[in-house]
């Protein structure tokens, strides 16, 4: 199997239809910051002679232990990349000892997915709907299916861009069809309502400003995901690697997650040293899924974990809890 995310990317490109590949890799052509490059540009200042002969990379997210601090991000319907779709993502994440965040388009089939993979842990991504009654029904179904958290994505507006062909349905999908999404331009009032109604922790995805992050936490969110939606929404939006430190500082008691451009264990280390609780990977999970299904997702995640452990040892750190900003500044 491929080893690095770069190798998974090349293998997926060779396998996928060119139109689907363009959809997966789309970023605005005029100005989004190179997300991976921003992580690469942050220098590390490793410690030596610390006796770091092993590295513990287990973490805790929303009170749940994970084998590695890397979750899979929602990235559109996974059936575009593999016939088993989200079921394969769940299986891969479970095998790696972590959590998958499912896209909103499979919320109606969440109970079916959970029954097929009962040991998997998952969070559900949703968009806020104009119809709160319909939203409440979805939340009730998700609670009943064993969802661990709701991830409210707040940085998407339809832009008229041509959509790829509709994704195929998976053989495991239940008969229910998710109602068309009616995005309301979610407000803080909506977030407060969602926190009160969900009966689950709520994480807000798409945060790039520390003041917005603080408002989300004040409104009851358990945490935020620093993200610019893969660079495919707002041209020139700040990269998450740049936005993360100020948000961590603004919300010291909240769980802060980050996605965008994470392509190596070294980048994971930098995010954790900045104060992130864990990172999310979207496109890398889709690459691995396209190439080798659930086994690919598990292998890609495990490799990132191995890279993280190796980088920690080279930085003189034996436990993930000891990662801090001192690795990113010159003493």
Extract the tokens encoding 120: 């998997």
pLDDT, residue 129, reads 87
CA distance 102 to 145: 13
List the one residue out of 196, 225, 264 whose CA is nearest residue 42: 264
What are the backbone angles phi and psi of residue 160, rounded to the nearest 5°?
A: 80, 0
pLDDT at 155 over 80: no
Q: What is the pLDDT of residues 31-45, one digit of tens each?
A: 555 788 899 999 999
CA distance 120 to 32: 34
Task: Print burial letters for 111-141: b (CB count within 10 Å at least 16), e (below 16).
Answer: bbbbeebeebbbbbbbebbeeeeebeebbeb
DSSP character at residue 108:
G
Half-sphere exposure of 120 (CA within 13 A, CB side): 31
Q: What is the pLDDT of residues 190-221, one digit of tens each?
A: 999 999 999 999 999 999 999 999 999 999 99
pLDDT, residue 34, reads 78
pLDDT, residue 177, reads 47
Helix, strand or coil, per DSSP, at residue 5:
helix
List the one residue out of 297, 301, 312, 251 whose CA is nearest residue 279: 301
pLDDT, residue 173, reads 82
Instruction: Place 162 in a pLDDT band, splitting at 50, 70 and 90.
Output: low
4 compared with 25, residue with greater pLDDT: 4
102 compared with 178, residue with greater pLDDT: 102
pLDDT, residue 59, reads 97
pLDDT, residue 196, reads 97
List the one residue out of 77, 103, 187, 179 whose CA is nearest residue 135: 179
In the chain the domains, ranked by start, together with CATH numbers, are 5-46+54-158+173-322 (3.20.20.70)
Q: For the purposes of burial, counting CB atoms within 10 Å of the CB of 43, is it exposed (0-12), middle (13-18) or buried (19 or more)?
A: exposed
Catalytic residue status for 229: yes
List the one residue out of 148, 168, 174, 152 whose CA is nearest residue 94: 148
Instruction: Place 22 in a pLDDT band, splitting at 50, 70 and 90.
Output: confident
Give the rounded percent of residues in the chain with a pLDDT score beyond 90: 72
163 compared with 297, residue with greater pLDDT: 297
CA distance 288 to 281: 11
pLDDT at 161 over 60: no
For 234: left if phi > 0, alpha if psi spans -120 to 50, otherwise beta; the answer is beta
Instruction: Place 82 in a pLDDT band, splitting at 50, 70 and 90.
Output: very high
pTM for this structure? 0.93
Mean pLDDT of all residues belonging to the chain: 90
Give the residue-averaged pLDDT of 224-241: 84
Give the residue-averaged pLDDT of 47-56: 87
What are the backbone angles phi and psi of residue 21, rounded to the nearest 5°?
A: -60, -40
Catalytic residue among 28, 30, 82, 229: 229
């Amino acid at each position: 199997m491929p080893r690095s995310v770069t190798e998974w990317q090349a293998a997926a490109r060779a396998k996928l239809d060119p139109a689907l590949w363009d959809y997966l890799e789309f970023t605005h052509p005029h100005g989004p910051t190179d997300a991976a490059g921003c992580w690469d540009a942050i220098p590390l200042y490793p410690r030596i002679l610390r006796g770091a002969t092993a590295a513990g990379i287990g973490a805790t997210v929303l009170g749940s232990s994970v084998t590695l601090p890397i979750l899979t991000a929602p990235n559109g319907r996974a059936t575009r990349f593999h016939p088993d779709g989200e079921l394969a993502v769940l299986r891969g994440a479970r095998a790696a000892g972590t959590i998958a965040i499912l896209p909103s388009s499979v919320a109606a089939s969440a109970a079916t997915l959970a029954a097929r993979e009962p040991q998997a842990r998952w969070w559900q991504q949703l968009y806020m709907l104009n119809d709160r009654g319909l939203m409440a029904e979805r939340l009730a179904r998700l609670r009943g299916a064993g969802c661990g958290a709701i991830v409210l994505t707040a940085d998407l507006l339809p832009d008229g861009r041509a959509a790829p062909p509709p994704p195929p349905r998976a053989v495991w999908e239940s008969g229910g069809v998710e109602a068309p999404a009616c995005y309301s331009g979610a407000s803080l009032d909506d977030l407060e309502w969602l926190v009160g109604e969900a009966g689950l922790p709520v994480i807000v995805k798409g945060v790039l400003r520390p003041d917005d992050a603080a408002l989300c936490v004040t409104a009851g969110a358990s945490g935020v995901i620093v993200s610019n939606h893969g660079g495919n929404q707002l041209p020139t939006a700040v990269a998450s690697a740049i936005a993360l430190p100020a948000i961590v500082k603004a919300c010291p008691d909240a769980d802060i997650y980050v996605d965008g451009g994470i392509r190596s264990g070294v980048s994971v280390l930098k995010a954790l040293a900045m104060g992130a609780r864990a990172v999310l990977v979207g496109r890398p999970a889709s690459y691995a899924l396209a190439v080798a299904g659930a086994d690919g997702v598990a292998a890609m995640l495990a490799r990132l974990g191995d890279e993280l452990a190796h980088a920690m040892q080279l930085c003189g750190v034996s436990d993930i809890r000891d990662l801090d900003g001192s690795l990113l500044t010159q003493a």
